Chains A and B, each alone.
Chain A
């Protein structure tokens, strides 16, 4: 069934699926807005300037509706009442920008890593989540970034591996291998470093610190030759 441009629902107008995340909605909006820009030559001779203006207005309306969770829920309900949207639970709310909390002293990862506590290894203190202010203050001297610690930090931020994979574009498999410290199955060292940098950024920690901590453990476990780590002295 083909539809006139006025009859397209907001998802069809922005060319996205009803399950799109807010990031996808934003990207699609930016793209479609450029397509229907009054100066876009791709529309030349197809639409009049009044039509382009009308389409533009509708795109703005679509974006304003879909990007706000409340408006989107209302709109989805309206579409469902018109049978334009299948009866499914509303799309998963997009991952909020988060500020991970430091590891709590009582957590198993904390206990597990007690042995490596040292002042020179102070973990950079991540800013507390605004909605979590007042949560028990934790010692900043935690541990090094090991696989289990990273996993714990992720879980404390309320994120799944899949969320991280979406944010970093690193596959779920590699992220899991990193958390498991399954060094044999991980790709070459240079790739791991790249993945860790992205992972650290996604969690809000210092990328250099996290990758160097992790790779130290990697090198120790795999016996990565020292000569390859540093440039040979001439």
Chain B
């Protein structure tokens, strides 16, 4: 199903997640959007943080009148009606749910309807700002996108959640490609780190699946190679913090077998805090600040499908 969607799609959908809250997902999403819009790309930002939407605030827009909840709640049938134009040329926004208590947990039908409608929209880039946590809704948006981008802080808590997020996304992706109920149960069981079967890493799981059904195991191996999440390290203060991205890339390769792509980092700077306080977007209020430059570099890497390398550092 995922492959078919890929083939039909022309625009690119990027999802920005990360597991932990307060790590700058919305800020980075908003400013990546602004950078792309400046490059004359038609950009639509979607606040998919259904429980705690505030992407509009990072863009300096007040509480919007129409939000995603109007669409999910079927107050309007057309997703076009909830799109808000911003002051920035080429940039529009679908704000997150504000008033709809159950919006944080849309049911399966609501979610698929939303994704289906997103597909029909006219834009060069659709950026999904995901909420915190590793719930199925968030993971599904992440897997639905062309590029899943993870944000971490150089802190153990954020890194722990990022790995948890990768693992959840990874196993959910596995579950989508297998039909065998026994294997699905095995994947579910493997999610529990202390499972009785001794399945600790994805390698253990694949080996176990291969013993059950060899072809399915090989399909899962292919899935591992296809899954290439991207990484942004935010609030970097030292050179060692920058290195964490490379370390995580190496650890992911060796632990999950996943190729994590390091897009770049965003430096810690008071101007970020000031821009949020003044409710003005960072890349507009402080376009020449170091964090703005960092975001521009990340957008550049994303567009060229390149990764951040050590040689860019020195």
Contacts and interface: CB of A to CB of B under 8 A. Distances in A.
B257 interface: yes
Contact of B250 (A1, A35, A45): A35
Contacts of B140: none
Nearest to A1: B221
A45 B246 contact: no
Nearest to A37: B247
A2 B221 contact: yes
Report, as a range, how many residues of chain A touch the other chain.
20 to 34
A27 to B, nearest CB: 10
Interface residues of B, number: 23
B246 to A, nearest CB: 7
**Most chain-A Cβ atoms within 10 A of its Cβ — which of B224, B251, B257?**
B251
Interface in A9-58: 15, 31-32, 34-35, 40-47, 55
A1 B206 CA distance: 12
Contacts of B164: 45
B304 to A, nearest CB: 23
A160 to B, nearest CB: 24
Interface stretch (B1-9, B151-159, B168-176): B151-159
Contact of A32 (B206, B250, B255): B250
B247 A40 contact: yes
B225 interface: yes
B225 A41 contact: no
B127 to A, nearest CB: 27
B203 A4 contact: yes
A4 B201 contact: yes
Interface in A123-175: none
B5 to A, nearest CB: 25
Contact of B203 (A2, A15, A31): A2
A5 B254 contact: yes
Contacts of B254: 5, 8, 55
A198 to B, nearest CB: 16
Contacts of A42: 159, 244, 247-248, 251
Contact of A15 (B160, B225, B250, B257): B250
A46 B256 CA distance: 10
B243 interface: yes
**Most chain-B Cβ atoms within 10 A of its Cβ — which of A3, A41, A42?**
A42
Contacts of B244: 41-42
A2 B257 contact: yes
B259 to A, nearest CB: 10
B163 interface: yes
B160 A44 contact: yes
Contacts of A40: 247
A35 B251 contact: yes
Interface of B: 154-156, 159-160, 163-164, 201, 203, 206, 221, 224-225, 243-244, 246-248, 250-251, 254-255, 257
22 contacts: A2-B206, A2-B221, A2-B224, A4-B201, A4-B203, A5-B254, A15-B250, A34-B243, A34-B247, A35-B246, A35-B247, A35-B250, A41-B156, A41-B159, A41-B244, A42-B251, A43-B251, A44-B163, A46-B163, A46-B255, A47-B251, A47-B255
Given A2-B206, A3-B257, A42-B159, 11 more contacts: A2-B203, A2-B257, A3-B203, A32-B250, A35-B247, A35-B251, A41-B154, A42-B251, A43-B247, A45-B160, A46-B255
Q: Would you list the 6 A-B pairs with minimal beta carbon distance, nearest first? A: A42-B247, A2-B257, A45-B160, A35-B247, A44-B156, A4-B203
